[in-house]
Amino acid sequence: MRQADIVELIQPSIESLGLVLWNLEYSTRGHKGLLRVFIDQPERGANIDDCEKVSREISAVLDASDPFSSAYTLEVSTPGLDRGLFELDHFRQFVGYQVKLRLRTPWEGRKNFNGLLAGVEGEDVVVRQEEEEFLFPLDLIDKANLVPQFETKGK
């Protein structure tokens, strides 16, 4: 089953709980699969109770439709402080935050960039490093994560 089919199958259950599907990953090891579902709640963030509710809801949906040909484990969690950014809407939501990007192919001789997420222009993600701005097409980005920023109180 394609990832898009799994999203279509489980997304309504997640949204009915007032949550959003941030991302999902499916991988296999030997004869067993692992389905990781990442959820969020935009106003307050998702918590362990949300993960439990989603796990119960989508387990029932997945059991009824039986989309996988072999046994699998379901994990439901939040994207975390260093959440991955996968879609243009994810990047738009975190404009002004520090990000770390790895590109599929080198850009000006480099694949790794760290900087301020300055915006989204069309299908491009804008990252500022010091005084220089880079526009990366979304399909060129292999991996993108927020860089957690922790404030420290004055001495």
pTM given for the model: 0.81
* Residue that wins the pLDDT comparison between 36 and 153: 36
- 120-125 contact pairs (CB < 8 A, 24+): 120/88, 120/91, 120/92, 120/95, 123/88, 125/88, 125/91, 125/101
Q: How far is CA 10 from CA 13, 34, 44, 52, 54, in A?
A: 6, 15, 22, 15, 9
pLDDT value at residue 101: 97
Give me the mean pLDDT over the 106-123 stretch.
95
Ordered structural domains, the chain, with CATH: 3-77 (3.30.300.70), 88-146 (2.30.30.100)
Q: What is the mean pLDDT of residues 137-143?
A: 97
pLDDT at 40: 95
Task: Select the more confidently predicted residue: 51 or 81.
Answer: 51
pLDDT at 31: 84
